[in-house]
């Protein structure tokens, strides 16, 4: 069912998953003498929710940073939409349609929620600096058009009531949601979520899970997420990559991964005798 060579598969809840969007081939990432990621390969398919899990320090965030271009791996290839990706700067990766959120929230604190989400649309705004400076016709039409798209996302994530609020004033859970809104505004082909539930209480976690499922359902967005709350991951995702000490120790459906002895050992600890 999960053979990489086929054109897709159907999930347990009946969603159709398409072909490979992103493929990581034998990625190795080192920081000096430390090997953060060691020879890892996996793929992400159209329309699926793919999780990368593992204990602290397993290299999950490093992997996400490789996908989004913040780190450049020493070895291995990144394939996106059937093409090998040359080494790229993070902003170039973003322009290719890969949006992300951050573990420690990276929002523009001084700007309003609306402005923050609008920055997600920058790549859709094609007018040049002169047209923008003079602010007529095309530039104005463009602003209105993108504003509409942004308002839809704001409605979708239920943050209308804080549209004009400066982000710095928002509580943690809402900031996470605004960050998701900004990433969605870019209409990404691949959405990367770095610990979307970190630091949240149960209620906030449930909200966030619902939004992630809704986004995937409504827009068909392909999502890759990192999380170390096992329960949440197993409920959300279609397929799971498990990492430990920079190595891949498991890959498959939540059920397969749950019953994998190596994964159980990594999470529960194992006595070496």
Partner 1 sequence: MPDQLIFAMEVFLNGLMAGVLYALVALGFVLIYKASGIFNYAQGVMALFAAMTLVGIMNGQVPFAHLINATFGTHVYTFGWTVPALLAIILTMGVMVLLAWAVQRFVMRHLVGQEPIILFMATIGLAYFLEGVADLMWGSEIKTLDVGLPQGINLWIDETTYNVFGYGFFIDNLDIVATIIAALLVAALVAFSQYTKQGRAMRAVADDHQAALSVGISLNFIWIMVWSVAGFVALVAGIVWGTKSGVQFSLSLIALKALPVLMLGGFTSIPGAIVGGLIIGVGEKLFEFAVGPLVGGATENWFAYVLALIFLVFRPQGLFGEKIIERV
User: Smallest gap, in angstroms, from Cβ of residue 122 to partner 1?
Assistant: 6
Residue 180 belongs to what H/E stretch? helix 172-185
Find tokens 């349609």 and name the residue: 97
Residue 10 pairs with which residues in a beta bridge?
16
C-alpha to C-alpha distance for 87 and 82, rounded to whole angstroms: 16
Only segment of 13-21, 24-32, 92-100, 147-155 that touches partner 1 (CB under 8 A) = 92-100
Residue 111 lies near partner 1 (rule: CB under 8 A): yes
Contact 230, 70 (CB under 8 A): no
Size of the site for partner 1 (CB under 8 A): 34
Give Cα separations from 273 to 245, 249, 268, 270 (angstroms).
20, 21, 16, 9
Give the residue, chosen from 42, 71, 80, 102, that forms a contact with partner 1 under the rule CB under 8 A: 102
Residue 216 lies near partner 1 (rule: CB under 8 A): no
Give Cα separations from 43 to 83, 98, 107, 112, 239 (angstroms).
13, 15, 29, 36, 10
Give the residue, chosen from 20, 107, 174, 243, that forms a contact with partner 1 under the rule CB under 8 A: 107
Residue 223 lies near partner 1 (rule: CB under 8 A): no
Residue 60 lies near partner 1 (rule: CB under 8 A): no
Residue 123 lies near partner 1 (rule: CB under 8 A): yes
User: Smallest gap, in angstroms, from Cβ of residue 84 to partner 1?
Assistant: 21
Residue 70 lies near partner 1 (rule: CB under 8 A): yes
Q: Are strands 75-80 and 20-31 parallel, antiparallel or unpaired?
A: antiparallel
Residue 175 lies near partner 1 (rule: CB under 8 A): no
Residues 6+ apart with CB under 8 A from 191: 98, 99, 100, 183, 184, 215, 221, 222, 223, 224
Nearer to partner 1, 16 or 95 (CB): 95
Residues near partner 1 (CB under 8 A): 68, 70, 89-92, 94-95, 99-100, 102, 106-111, 115, 118-120, 122-123, 125, 127, 129, 132-133, 135, 139, 143, 182-183, 186
């Amino acid at each position: 069912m999960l053979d990489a060579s086929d054109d897709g598969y159907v999930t347990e809840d009946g969603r159709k998953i398409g072909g490979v969007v992103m493929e990581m081939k034998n990625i190795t990432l080192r920081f000096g003498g430390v090997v953060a990621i060691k020879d890892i390969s996996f793929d992400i398919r159209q329309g699926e929710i793919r999780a990368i899990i593992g204990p602290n320090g397993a290299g999950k965030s490093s992997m996400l940073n490789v996908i989004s271009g913040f780190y450049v791996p020493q070895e291995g290839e990144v394939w996106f939409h059937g093409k090998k990706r040359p080494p790229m700067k993070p902003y170039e990766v973003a322009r290719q349609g890969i949006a992300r959120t951050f573990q420690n929230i990276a929002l523009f604190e001084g700007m309003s929620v609306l402005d923050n989400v609008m920055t997600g649309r920058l790549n859709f705004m094609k007018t040049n600096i002169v047209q923008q400076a003079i602010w007529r016709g095309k530039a104005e039409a463009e602003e209105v058009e993108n504003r509409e798209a942004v308002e839809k996302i704001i409605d979708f994530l239920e943050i209308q009531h804080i549209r004009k609020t400066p982000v710095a004033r928002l509580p943690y859970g809402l900031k996470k949601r605004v960050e998701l809104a900004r990433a969605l505004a870019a209409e990404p082909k691949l959405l990367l979520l770095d610990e979307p539930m970190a630091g949240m209480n149960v209620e906030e976690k449930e909200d966030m899970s619902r939004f992630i499922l809704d986004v995937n359902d409504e827009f068909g967005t392909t999502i890759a997420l990192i999380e170390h709350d096992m329960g949440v991951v197993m409920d959300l995702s279609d397929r799971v990559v498990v990492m430990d000490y920079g190595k891949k120790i498991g890959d498959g459906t939540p059920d397969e991964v749950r019953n994998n002895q190596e994964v159980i050992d990594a999470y529960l600890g194992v006595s070496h005798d």
